[in-house]
Amino acid sequence: MKKIKKIKIKLNGKEKQITKDTKIGKLINDLRIPIKKVAIELNQEILDKKKLDKIKLKKNDKVEIVHFIGGG
Amino acid sequence: MKDQFIIAKKKFKSRLIIGTGKYKNMNECAKAVKLSGADIVTVAVRRVNISDTKKPLLMDYINPKKITYLPNTAGCFNSDEALRTLRLAREIGGWKLVKLEVLGDKRNLFPEMIETLKSTEILAKEGFKVMVYCNDDPLMAKRLENVGASAIMPLAAPIGSGLGILNTVNIKIIRAQTKLPLVIDAGLGQASDATIAMELGCDGVLVNTAIAKAKKPFNMALAFKNAVLAGRQSYLSGRIEKNLMGKPSSPIKGVI
């Protein structure tokens, strides 16, 4: 059986282990994050939310997921 | 003629803008916003809590379809951070009307105006409608206008200080020189401060701490609502001239 390769990424500043070639759309879906209420950055580049299922995550990628909170 | 509050060609009902930070919880915040009558609220852009994604979101309490969200750049200390934050904010849901706030000092929280000016110009070119938190400096306000700001938002006093408007003369000078919406942002402490701002000719006020940290936030939200209305009406009504000496209100003629 083929061994599933794991990689490490940084998600919102914290290290996270994921399966290699995981698409960012799947990552967000698995985390149950409401896509319409967030914005996503990959290595400091803002992603088009329509293309999330096409982008594969690589080792050491830095993902930031942000939303609105109370502020003045 | 109807007295309308217009920012970047969009009409708003209330001249009171509410900051949504510092409330005990989101319920309290949502109720205060409702009582204030505000139809614009400022919001911050922050990381999603990955370990608890079931937690309710601000959008679950304040409907962005009914209340205009004004994303801010609170916590940004240079242009790059501010631009990154607002580009992300736009991506969340197409927000173009934003509040730019680039701070220069962690203690007094005064705006870093060189970085603010630079950011305003870039954001305006990218199509953002930028409401700019700035010093009460007429020259800098003019420069912000020249690079494409959509609203000038001078501080009354340091953020969260509650000191009220410290330099009414500068605010009057800025009012006299610009047709852009002029909104007092930061430093108000009580409802009468908002009235003073409106009587100086400001188009609106932005309040957070004075309501959120009042002993009775809901009552204070109402007080600010009424204070803004009173100040605007007073401004439009045209105040009397100031006199050093008294002038009797009752006729002298016919005194017995």
Identify the H or E element spanning B12.
strand B10-12
Contact criterion met (CB < 8 Å) for B47 and A12: yes
Torsion of CA B58, B190, B39, B18, to 10 degrees: -30
How far apart, in whole angstroms, are the C-alpha atoms of residue B84 and residue B213?
Answer: 30
Kindly report the length of chain A.
72
As a whole number of Å, the end-to-end CA separation of chain A is 55
Per residue in B34-67, pLDDT tens? 999 999 999 999 999 888 877 888 999 999 999 9
Scanning A26-45 for CB atoms below 8 A from B yields 31-34, 36-41, 44
CATH of domain A6-66: 3.10.20.30
Closest residue on chain B to A29 (Cα): B53
Per residue in B96-111, pLDDT tens? 999 999 999 999 999 9
How far apart, in whole angstroms, are the C-alpha atoms of residue B116 and residue B108?
Answer: 16
DSSP string, B134-180: E-S-HHHHHHHHHTT-SEEEE-SSSTT-----S-HHHHHHHHHH--S
* B166 burial type by CB count under 10 A (0-12 exposed, 13-18 middle, 19+ buried): middle
Average pLDDT of span B143-162: 97
Kindly report the length of chain B.
256
Q: Which residues of B226-255 are buried (b: 16+ CB within 10 A; e: fewer)?
A: ebbbbbbeebeeeeeeeeeeeeeeeeeeee
Domains and CATH numbers, chain B: 5-237 (3.20.20.70)
CB B42 within 8 A of CB B236: no
Examine the residue annotation and report whether B216 is marked as an active-site residue of this protein.
no
Residue A65 structure tokens: 């997921």
Mean pLDDT over each residue of chain B, to the nearest integer: 95
Interface test with A, best of B22, B45, B47, B126 (most A CBs within 10 A): B47
HSE of B38, CA atoms in CB hemisphere, 13 A? 33
Per residue in A12-51, pLDDT tens? 999 999 998 899 999 999 998 888 899 999 999 999 988 9
What residues of B are in contact with residue A64 (Cβ under 8 Å)? 47, 88
Residue B212 structure tokens: 């959120």
Q: Is the pLDDT of residue A2 over 70?
A: no
CA distance B186 to chain A (A): 9
Share of chain B above pLDDT 90, in %: 92
Interface test with B, best of A9, A15, A68 (most B CBs within 10 A): A68
ipTM rounded to 2 decimals: 0.91
